[in-house]
Amino acid sequence: MKFEDTFLNDNILDALYDMRFEDCTPIQEKCIPEILDYNDVIGVAQTGTGKTAAYLLPILSMLDDGEYPKDAINCIIMSPTRELAQQIDQAMQGFGYYLDSISSVAVYGGNDGNRYDQEMKSLRMGADVVIATPGRLLSHIRMGHIDLSKVSFFVLDEADRMLDMGFSDDIMQIVAKLPKERQTIMFSATMPDKIQQLARTILNNPVEIKIAVSKPAEKIKQSAYVCYDTQKIGIIKHLFATNQLKRVIIFSGKKDKVKDIARELRNLKINCCQMHSDLTQQERDEVMFKFKAGMKDVLVATDIVSRGIDIDDILMVINYDVPHDCEDYVHRIGRTARADRDGAAITFVNEKEIYKFQQIEEFLEKVITKNPLPENLGKGPEYKVEKNTQSNRCGTRRHGRGNGNGNGRRRSGKKPQKK
């Protein structure tokens, strides 16, 4: 579908023309009509699929049509990190180039007092669109700087990351301040139970739109060690002793394990830093700065940085544990082999994770090489797949209303009316 075939208004289409955007991505093709039709939407799509435009374009188009209060906050877009908030703000400036009557402000932490004062003034004047991190927005709410009573659109971008970072309570406090009559849009790269619970709580009969998970780049050299948990640090020691490893990310699903791994690496004199939800925004910014600048060789992290952070020179990703599902696996190893570079991805598979890893192999339609353990570590568990009653975490999930792919409504040929 081409953008000119959607019901986006002319000012938006003119901006897209100037930016040389002609064709919708799959997520945009499915989401834009539903949002223009005033439906709540939950979109399951990875970073890089065009999801920002999928919600921002229809919202800006509707705001520009003049049916919403002036000098009031009409849209709140929540972002888990300052980096993503900045990216959304940049997209806002481009898509809204011809929208003279639409104002916006980006509100995020890790800044000086002058920035906070500027945010306060913009919020009190009633910026149409507010792009914010949860903690910073709550700070302004508590200080009485913002009136949310007129909000018509509430967007959660990368909702799974927000929950992983511990923002669940913050989100619910913000939702409690919003009008009950609103349109809510949520995007998530994955759909774990906690995201489904959040969707049931804050969305009203949403249309679910899911874009298939892409496969990892072929140039990523994937392999695995089938091992016991007690052997994992020994494998890391072996890898760093036999290779001059730099620009490495080690992922673990639990923040306590991240702390343990970082401590073990420091004992091995490996120059590392750690990233998890216990860090403040300022501390996370400092960690990412040091790692991007090459001041640290290894980043040990939870899935906070498995999406949305662009670092092009990662040479190796190590999965200290098997990711929760195929989407997480793709996101994790997708940090390497970027910008035409080669890269390697190594996964540690313990005896309890063999079935889960075999599901990933089935999804990838390939058998991942199993590396022999270093001789000094002894034998690991046998890679033997047994029957398991777990549901397949890589299968297709049930869609919401419509025909199962999010575009079940027929367009009438005229712009939908507000419900």
Q: Could you read off the pLDDT of 158-186 as tens digits, one per residue?
A: 998 899 888 999 999 999 999 999 999 99
Q: Do 90 and 232 sit in the same domain of this protein?
A: no
Q: How much is the pLDDT for 259?
A: 96
Q: Do 235 and 170 sit in the same domain of this protein?
A: no
What is the CB neighbour count within 10 angstroms for residue 338?
16
Q: Do 88 and 233 sit in the same domain of this protein?
A: no
- Dihedral pair phi/psi, residue 23, rounded to 5°: -105, 140
Is 163 within the bounds of a domain? yes
CATH number of the domain where residue 124 is located: 3.40.50.300
Domain boundary among 210, 230, 260: 210
Q: Do 173 and 255 sit in the same domain of this protein?
A: no
- For residue 222, the cross-strand partners are 345
Q: Do 86 and 192 sit in the same domain of this protein?
A: yes
Is 350 within the bounds of a domain? yes
Q: How much is the pLDDT for 418?
A: 54
* Sheet of strand 41-44: strand arrangement: 104-107, 129-132, 75-78, 153-156, 183-188, 41-44, 207-210
Is 401 within the bounds of a domain? no
Is 295 within the bounds of a domain? yes
Extract the residue ranges of the chain whose pLDDT is less than 70.
Answer: 46-48, 110-113, 304-310, 386-419
Domain boundary among 160, 191, 210: 210
C-alpha closest to that of 259 among 110, 267, 80: 267
Terminal Cα distance for the chain, rounded: 25
Q: Do 237 and 345 sit in the same domain of this protein?
A: yes
Q: How much is the pLDDT for 389?
A: 37
Q: Do 205 and 224 sit in the same domain of this protein?
A: no
- Dihedral pair phi/psi, residue 17, rounded to 5°: -60, -45
The residue range of the domain holding 262 is 220-377
Is 9 within the bounds of a domain? yes
Q: Are 344 and 221 in contact (CB under 8 A)?
A: yes
Q: What is the DSSP annotation of 326-360?
A: HHHHHHHHTTSS-TT--EEEEEEE-TTSHHHHHHH
Is 354 within the bounds of a domain? yes
Q: How much is the pLDDT for 92?
A: 93
Q: How much is the pLDDT for 340?
A: 75
Q: Which one-letter amino acid corresponds to residue 97?
A: Y
Q: Do 341 and 238 sit in the same domain of this protein?
A: yes
Q: Do 295 and 168 sit in the same domain of this protein?
A: no
Is 353 within the bounds of a domain? yes
Is 411 within the bounds of a domain? no
Q: How far apart are CA 413 and CA 103, in angstroms?
A: 30
Q: Do 160 and 244 sit in the same domain of this protein?
A: no
Domain boundary among 210, 243, 275: 210
What's the CA dihedral at 408, 412, 416, 419 to 10 degrees? -70
Q: Do 235 and 339 sit in the same domain of this protein?
A: yes
Q: How much is the pLDDT for 412?
A: 34
Domain count, the chain: 2
Model's pTM, two decimal places? 0.62
Q: How much is the pLDDT for 400?
A: 39
Q: How much is the pLDDT for 215?
A: 80
Q: Do 260 and 226 sit in the same domain of this protein?
A: yes
Mean pLDDT of the chain: 87
Q: Which two tokens stand for residue 304?
A: 């906070």
